[in-house]
Amino acid sequence: MQWKLTTSLIAIAASATMAHADGMAQPSPDPVVVAPAPAPVTDWSGLYGGLTVGYAMGSASHSFSNAAPTDDSDPTGLLLGGFLGYAVQSGNVVWGGEVDMDFSDYSGSFVNNTGATSQGVIDGNWQGSVRAVVGYAGDLGSRPALYYATAGWAVGEFDFLGGPSVPVPPGGGYSEQMNGWTAGVGVDVRLSDSTTMRVEYRYTDFGTASGTLAPTFPAVTMPVDVTQHALRVGVRMQF
């Protein structure tokens, strides 16, 4: 009996050991890894508008039909205006159109006293544009951002004066509405669901104005080439 009992205990222990070994030999199932959901892309589509303030600096190259010295009046000044646009979005790509208008004190002048003398003045009254906009919806730090490029038609109204450097001020001039092109880049950074901060740089070539220096010098024509670099900051509202 004692021998049978010992044999039974040994058999039970061996069975338990083999079962444990079988359990150890079986590979454990791989853990289920759940991929994080992609971050939602901010919606930039729809109608929007805003206000901007900017600073412009550029070149206004004056020449004269009577061979007086050419020179550059180097205009600078503040721009204050607004913009209105509409955007369509597909994934991270955003495109649309935008119009803007600025009132300005963009102005400059020169006096050239070498040889045959000359002087010239430029004063900007207003300027605007109609542009296409293409952008990428991403992030800037922890905030949603729209990085964009823009280009299109530019228009502006300027007053021009010119004549010999004596007498002062110049004796005659003209006003002209100029047409050209503009292109630039910018970023809109979302501050809330409907409010965005904008920073934008644009280069504008308004083309060449031309008119006489009436009433003092009606026979003298003064063409002026006008270009501009402008940096604007503003607030964009989503409607």
pLDDT digits (tens, 9 = 90+) for 177-191: 999 999 999 999 999
* Widest CA span in the chain: 141
Which H/E stretch holds residue 160?
strand 143-163
Residues 150, 201: Cα–Cα separation, whole Å: 10
Other CB atoms within a 10 A radius of the CB of residue 76 amount to 14
pLDDT tens for each residue of 61-103 = 999 999 999 999 999 999 999 999 999 999 999 999 999 999 9
In the chain, what is the straight-line distance between the N-terminal and C-terminal CA atoms, in Å? 95
C-alpha–C-alpha distance, residues 206 and 227, integer Å: 6
CATH 2.60.40.60: does it fit domain 46-238? no
Q: Cβ(224)–Cβ(208) under 8 Å?
A: yes
Burial class (CB in 10 A: 0-12, 13-18, 19+), 179: exposed
Cβ contact 50:81 at 8 Å: no
Residue ranges of the domains in the chain?
A: 46-238
Q: What is the pLDDT of residues 111-167, one digit of tens each?
A: 999 878 999 999 999 999 999 999 999 999 999 999 999 999 999 999 999 999 887
Q: Which amino acid is at 28?
A: S
pTM of the model: 0.82
The HSE-up count of residue 105 (CA atoms within 13 Å, CB side) is 3
